[in-house]
Structure 1
Amino acid sequence: MQVPLSPRRFRWLDRLSKVVGLTLLAVALEGVLGDWSLLVGIVGLVVGGGTIFLDPAE
């Protein structure tokens, strides 16, 4: 899917989504949020892997 971002901005979006996704996964694996840990882990996977299917507009 094409996104209307320059390659530089897309790279920042990609890095930010990976950091947020990894942080959410780490929180979920620690079990800090109790019953919400499974949901937070799934959201972390979706956020972290969401930019895999995006392409910057050239």
Structure 2
Amino acid sequence: MNTALIRPIKTETDYQEALERAGALMSSEPNTPEADELEVLATLIELYEDKYFPLA
């Protein structure tokens, strides 16, 4: 089991850390814990961006 702590993105620092982690996971094989972590991080990043960087 992956012991990485996934938490809400509340600050710019959290956002930057999530982007870095997602980048590190981009080459993950499908159907692995790393791919699952990437999927969850992508969702959290999208929610943060929608809130703080909305497209007009």
When normalised by structure 2's length, the TM-score is: 0.44
When normalised by structure 1's length, the TM-score is: 0.43
The structure where helix makes up a greater share of residues is 1
The structure where strand makes up a greater share of residues is 1
> Is the radius of gyration larger for structure 1 or structure 2?
1
Which structure has the higher relative contact order (CA within 8 Å, separation 6+)? 1
